[in-house]
Structure 1
Amino acid sequence: MKPNFEAMSRKELREYVLAHRDDDDAFYALMDRIYQQPNKTWFPAPKSIDDLKHFPELLEQHRQRKQEQE
């Protein structure tokens, strides 16, 4: 009997796929979940020391997005 992939978090599903590499249904469920998520936001590299003033804000945004994905 297969687990309910829809009820799993992305992290749980990823761990399941890594533990059950032969399970194509789990793999496709994970890929569907990944493709459903919005594109990542990319920030340009800092061009000056002044650009680094915004680094703490960008880091916090990244942490929040990462936490939401789990």
Structure 2
Amino acid sequence: MKPNLKAMTKPELKSYLLEHRNDIEAFEALMDKVNSEPDQKFYPPEEASNLSKLLERSPTQQTQ
């Protein structure tokens, strides 16, 4: 029997997906949770080399 994916938390879904890598429905449930989070910040591929610097910045600095 499949678990209730909509009731699972993000960490629970991540863990479930590690064990069920081909479960498209679980992946979509995780993406729905990620996309519903407010104040998401996405970085273009060109900034990948600066990733460590970006991660060290505080959230208030990232919005400036």
Shared fold, TM over 0.5? yes
Alignment of 1:43 with 2:60, yes or no, is: yes
Alignment of 1:2 with 2:19, yes or no, is: no
Q: How much has 1:29 moved relative to structure 2?
A: 0.4
Distance 2:10 2:39 in 1: 16
Larger radius of gyration: 1
Name which structure has the greater RCO, CA cutoff 8 Å, separation 6+. Answer: 1
What residue in structure 1 maps to residue 25 of structure 2? 25
Query: What TM-score, normalized by structure 2, do the two folds share?
Result: 0.59
What residue in structure 2 maps to residue 64 of structure 1? none
Unpaired segments ≥5 residues, structure 2: 42-58
Query: What TM-score, normalized by structure 1, do the two folds share?
Result: 0.55
Question: How many residue pairs end up in the alignment?
Answer: 45
| Deviating 4+ runs (over 3 angstroms) | none
